[in-house]
Each structure stands twice: as structure tokens, then as C-alpha cells.
A and B are shown apart, each in its own frame.
Chain A
Amino acid sequence: MLKEIRLDGVKAVLGAGALALVTAFGTSDAMAGPDDDTLRIAWGATGPIDNLDAYFNTNRTGIWFARNVWDTLVFRNLDEGTYEPLLATGWSFPDDTTLDLTLREGVVFHNGEPFDADDVVYTLNFIADPENGVLTRGNVDWIENAERTGPYSVRVHMTRPMPQIFEILSGPIVIYPNEYYAEVGPEGMNRMPVGTGPYRVTEVQPTQRYTLERNPDYTWGSPKGEASIGTLVIREIADVQTQVAELLGGGIDFTADISADQLDQITGLPGFSGAQSETMRISYLGFDAAGRSGFEPTQNPMVREAIARAVNRKAISENLVRGDSRVVNTPCFPTQFGCDEDAAVIWDFDPEAARALLAEAGYPDGFEIEIYNYRSSSWAEAIIADLAEIGIAANLNQMGYFALRDLQHEGRTPLYLMDWGSFSINDMSAITSRFFTLGPDDFAQDEELAAWLETGDSSPDPATREEAYAKAIARITERLYWLPMFSHVRNYAFVEGLEFKGFVDEIPRFYAYSWR
């Protein structure tokens, strides 16, 4: 899934501009990274982190930040696919809705506060309280409350059985210092985040720049390991071209926002390296099957099938997304729990059949449709060209993510190319259930489907879950509420000399990087 790109593939054509930039500034500045033990990172192509408090942003980079600054109760070992102790050293379930945790001793927060049961109880109770307004309710609404059962033991009462609990405990649920958080709240956590993680924050200029330093107290044997690089300077740079210019000019050492094309070009230059990995994020073409937008054609299953057969997903995945991207046939990422590829109905590319279907559906001359998109317009433009082949004139509505999400919630999008990264939670509930349980994102409004997903999300029995999810997959792909498109790749470019380590869940762990 992950591969390092080597320099021997130097491209024949080097852009004059890039070469000039490198020769002008590159040689001296680019080497500054290892010399002063500082890794300069740029991110933020989809917007800066609104609030560094992990519970009050929904940014992908917010997760990146959180993994380096805070710790979770449980550690997910990606290589083995197992869950290991992190802040919790042991756990047990007296019944389906109760969890007992034993906590690690000897851990201290960055501000010197020692870690104990009070921190876990305070954090869990804070995020469970709807009044506090944690943004992603699905991550926390299973917590009824938490109580202290000893200085290093905690009992968690759950609102429902939570089969994917370890994904949540090893992912979005990070533990805060109770005294500090009670005093400063989410606002103060944004100004100066305090955790137990491998990096401690020393400077924050909100939405612009964060400085992180190696946590000297991270010596208690965390499975994450101690950080190697001394200082991280993170800059929020929204424009990817500016990030590339900064990288080539020596202003930054690392970016993860570039396209596969840019990756090829950057790694073709001396002094730079790159890597690429497939991610859990999948794109899908969503149809307004329920007729929320009032648009007739997409309510017709034959029209949806015609579109599904007209779009050449393989060509887009191979030529535009590139790298390890592959066509996905399920409304979830295949490694996620419950995401059974055999349950999906597969729609092969067949423009002839598409044309016939369209005629049969009563649109022999096609129709005009609005398609909505927020990511790379190339993908949408390729889809538009494919649809034009069968006579459907699709008008592109390109806009920002939040604008498009609002339009969707108002039910105004008949056809949309969207994607979801599941917060890197390796469980189908993180994607399929979010979109098909009659919420504002649901353009199927299929009650039977929602019931299956509900069963899959809350049943303690894995076999029951799998069976329910398989039915859901079959329904979504057969009726084509979504046409699952392809998996995304994350492209990393960095200065040579950085020992990069890639992870399949689209989360760079800077604490695992080092200088060669």
C-alpha cells in the first residue's frame, strides 16, 4: 500500500521555474532541517484547524495534530491490526454496556500535572455531555458517564453496546488534564494545548503557526515511542502552490497536500524525496434518489444505472488520482469492519448499455443536470465528459466543502461527487451509517436500510453486524444510492534526509520520523 519514490526516476522534463527556485534558494536553506533538528511542516489545503481542541474541529489536520500532542487510552497497532495498552493498561467488559479500565501510572502531562483516573473521568464526562457541544457526536454519544473506581481505575457506563469501541478509544478520544481543562476549557486548549503525547506545544498562533517540541518526559514506554526530531514548526498554508514554492525554496521541509502529478515532479528534482499511500478516504457519486431536490431523472433507478455505467471509474482512478488508488465498489473502504466486497453489486463501464438504459428510462436525448463538486475539478470534469458521451449535459458547480455540505443539508444537490475519510476509523459505521441513517446527508431516505445499519452499529455480535452491513451494502449498490468511485491517495513530499514513515490511515506520526 505504501511506497517510497526514489530519485532514479528523474523526469526528463524539469520545469524551468522549479529548477531556478531550487538553484536560487534550495541548496542552503533546504538543508537547515537536520542542522537545527527542526522539521518545518506545511498543511492546511482544506482550511486551517478552527480550534486545536481535538473535540472542536473536524479537520483532517486536527487529527494529525492530536496524534502527536495527546494520547488515547488504547493504541491501535496498524501493522498487526491489534489494540494495545496506551494510557489504559487493561480493560474488561462486565456487561455489554459497561467498560472497566485500568490506567497507567507514572505518566505526566506537559504542564507537569500527573495523569490519573480523575483526568479520564473528567474528559469522558465532559465530552459525553451534549451541552458541551462536541462536534462529532457519533464519536462520543455512546458514553453515558464515567466514574472513578480507584486512583488508577475507571468505570465507563455506555448508552448502548459499542462493538467498534476500540476504534474510537484508539482514535478520536484523547485524554485531557482535568485541572487545566476545567480551568481553561476548549478556548484555552486552543490557545495552548496540553496533553501527554510525544510532542508538547510551545507556541500557538491560532490558524497560522504552531511550534511543537519533543516531550522529554515521554519515557514511560509508550507503544508510540519517543519522538526523534527535536522541534516541529507547522504552518497553515492554504494554497498548495505556495506550499510547493516553499518546499522548493527551502521554507518548509514537508508537505502532504500535493497531487500525484506534483509528487512526480518534485521527486524528480535533486534534494527531494516523496512517498505515497492509499488512504481510507473514498470518493462516491451520490444521487438524489429520494427526490429531495425535486429533480426527476435521478429518482429513476434506470437513470442512475445509466450514469453508473457511463462513468469510467477505472480511467479516473488510474490516470487522475494515480498511484495506489483503486476502484472501490462498496460504500465503505474494504478494510473497514463489515465492508464486504462480495455483497456489492458491481457496475462495469459500458457506455452502450448506458445509452440504451437512458432511452428505456424515457430520456433518449439525455437531459441536463447539475453536478456538485468541491475537490479537484479534474475528476468532475472527467465525469462530465463521460456523461456527455451518453447525452447527459452535466453543469459543474464547483464550490468549497462547507458551502457544498450546507447545500446538501438543504437537499439541493441532485448529483454530487463527495468523499469521506471515516476519521480513519476502521469500521463501516464511520462512513455508511453516517450517510444513510435518515440524517441531513441522506439522499436515499430508505428506512429499511437505516434499520439494518442501526443493527450493524449497535449489535454486540460480530456475525449479526456483518450480516446487517452486507444487506446495507447490497441495497446501496443495487439501488445505486451511491456509485462508489475510488480510493484516495495521500502524497507526501519532503527534503532528502528525512526518514519518513508512512501509515495507511492517512495520519502522519511525526514522532516516528527522524533525520538520516
Chain B
Amino acid sequence: MADQTPAVGPSPGRIALRRMLAHRSFALGVSVLLVMTLMAIFAPLIAPHDPYATDLTQRLLPPFWHDDSVPEHILGTDKVGRDYLSRLIYGARVSLAIGVLAVLLSGLIGTVLGVAAGYFGGKVDAVVTYLIGTRLSLPLFLVALAVVAMFGSSLTIVILVLGLFLWDQFAVVMRSVTKQIRSQDYVRAARAAGASHMRILWREILPNVREPLLVVATVEMANAIILEASLSFLGFGVQAPLPSWGLMLSDAREFMFFDPWLLTIPGCALFALLLAINLTGDGLRDVTGRGGVLR
């Protein structure tokens, strides 16, 4: 924390930026993530074809590195003749939307519970600890199966299931960080000055849990994305024909021995996205000095 800034020299923001740029894996992660995010946002402008448009006469065309590839489908086509590149680009939307929205939801739940437990302690802490324990005892796939059986499966359901499920890490980390902070002098000072709990939480606690929160968020985002892919792969996730990388992998199984590119392309995309998110998270931890060694 740069709370003692010298009068002259670079501002704290610039220092952080410089550190970030010097941290190579962080820079790499952020760049890939940025590219994927832009790809997702501008998918309609970038994608060469409609990702839903089928052409049954043009199915299973190979990608460009094969001799009999077709120039208008650089990455080939899938089992019903949809352009693979376009589906890959739109798939980034699904993955990122699920990652971001599920993490927003679970982050909100986890932070509220964790901060409350850490700050108030006592009975509140006991209740929250109990909730965390309960949550950890529930197997995600069993719950997902039950939810799909009851409500069917859709993008919204997947986001809700993951969002309502992945808050435990947030709660655990927020609880322990808040516990540390609440005994800090500035919190005590605020309390002595007569500040209300709300004010202390809002002005003193929350700003100081921001970095660990971000680090947990990146880990959980990667987790949510891989879980969506797994759920969709097993048929409990989003439904076809929505372009999801997990679904693309699932569809490709039938062809894995003979058209392995159908499997490798979405697999590599998923790998790159998860790697980028994890590199970003690690880098964030490093450059903010929270829980890691400064470079």
C-alpha cells in the first residue's frame, strides 16, 4: 500500500502500472483476456458468418491447415455445417458472460457473508461458517442435475446455479481478511470517533478487501467457465444450438478419432482463456502485494 507517497516522483497509479507492465505473465494474461473480451463484445462485427446458420451440404469441412479446406470457412464447419470460427467467436461471449455474471453474483453473496462474519464475529460468524460448511458439502454436479431436471437447462439457469454456488471461496477469504482489518488501528479509530457500522464497513473495510476480492474473483471466474464447459459437455449446461465451447467439445466427441480439430480448436480456446484469467489473477496478486511476493 502506497499510503506514504513522496511529494515528488510518479503517482501510485503509475507505479502500479509500471509494475504490471514489468510483470510479464500478467501482461500476457491481460492482453489475451483483453483480446478475448473484445472478440466477445464485437462478435457480430468480427464473425465471418452467422454462428447459427446451418448448411447441411457443407458439413465437417476441415480447417485451413488441411489440403481440402475451403477459404470461406477458415476453421472449417461443424456437424450441421455451421462456420466453426464464427461459433468460436460467439462462444467467447457465452464463456465470458457466464464467467463475469456468475462471479458478480457469487462475489456479492460471498463478500456480504464473509465481511459480515469477519466484522461482527460471534453468532453472525457461526451462522456464516455453518452456511459455508453446508455449501461445501453439496456436490455441484448433483445439484446441477437436480436443477436441470426441475427447471430445464438454459444460459440463465447455468449462470444462476454457478452464481449461487461459487460464493464459498469469496466468503472464506473475505471473512479472514476482514478479521485482520477490523483490529487495525484505523478501524478502531473510526469506531472511537463514533462512526456507524455501515460507515466503517463501507469506508474502511471494503476498500481494503478490494485486491484479495479481485484475486479470488479471477480464480472463481476461471472455475465458473470450466464448470459451464463441463456441465454443457455433460448435457446439463446451456442447450444447443447456443455456441458454447463446452457444447462444441461435447459435439466433437463423436468425431474425435477422425476429425480431431473439432475437439482441439474449442479446447485450445478454452485453455487460452483459462490460462489468461489465471495469469491475470496471479499477476494481480503479485503486483498488489496481497498474499504474494512483490517483484
* Chain A residues near B (Cβ < 8 Å): 12-18, 21, 240-241, 244-245, 248, 259, 261-262, 265, 312, 315-316, 318-320, 377-378, 380-382, 384-385, 388, 395-399, 403
Contact = CB atoms under 8 A, between A and B. Distances in A.
Nearest to A12: B68
A459 to B, nearest CB: 43
B56 A315 contact: yes
B235 interface: yes
B259 A15 contact: yes
A13 B54 contact: no
B59 interface: yes
21 contacts: A13-B62, A13-B66, A13-B68, A15-B259, A17-B260, A241-B257, A261-B60, A261-B254, A262-B258, A315-B57, A319-B59, A320-B56, A320-B80, A377-B251, A380-B240, A381-B54, A381-B80, A381-B240, A381-B241, A385-B53, A398-B240
A261 B255 contact: yes
B253 interface: yes
In the A-B complex, the 4 residue pairs with the smallest Cβ-Cβ separation, listed nearest first, are A15-B258, A319-B56, A265-B258, A18-B257
B139 to A, nearest CB: 20
Contact of A17 (B68, B81, B149, B257): B257
B239 A241 contact: no
B256 interface: yes
Nearest to B58: A319
Contact of A396 (B240, B255, B257): B240
B256 A241 contact: yes
B238 to A, nearest CB: 10
Nearest to B239: A396
Interface of B: 52-54, 56-57, 59-60, 62, 66-68, 79-81, 149, 152-154, 235, 239-241, 251, 253-260
**Majority secondary structure of chain B interface residues (helix, strand, loop or mixed):** loop
Contacts of B257: 15, 17-18, 21, 241, 244-245, 248, 265
B235 A398 contact: yes
Contacts of A315: 56-57
A259 B254 contact: yes
A382 B258 contact: no
Nearest to B148: A399
Given A17-B256, A395-B239, A399-B235, 7 more contacts: A17-B258, A262-B258, A319-B57, A320-B59, A320-B80, A377-B240, A381-B240
Contacts of B254: 240-241, 259, 261-262
B198 to A, nearest CB: 44
B243 to A, nearest CB: 11
A382 B66 contact: no
A245 B60 CA distance: 20
A18 B256 CA distance: 9
Contacts of B149: 403
Given A17-B260, A21-B257, A262-B254, A378 B62 contact: no
Contacts of A380: 240
A18 B52 contact: no
A18 B241 contact: no
B154 A388 contact: no
A240 B53 CA distance: 28
Contacts of B66: 13
Given A13-B66, A377-B240, A382 B259 contact: no
A396 B241 contact: yes
A12 B79 CA distance: 19
A414 B248 CA distance: 27
Nearest to B152: A397
B241 A385 contact: yes
A384 B56 contact: no
A13 B261 CA distance: 12
A225 B257 CA distance: 38
A15 B251 CA distance: 17
A388 B152 CA distance: 21
Contacts of B67: 12
A385 B80 contact: yes
Contact of B154 (A21, A316, A395): A395
A461 to B, nearest CB: 45
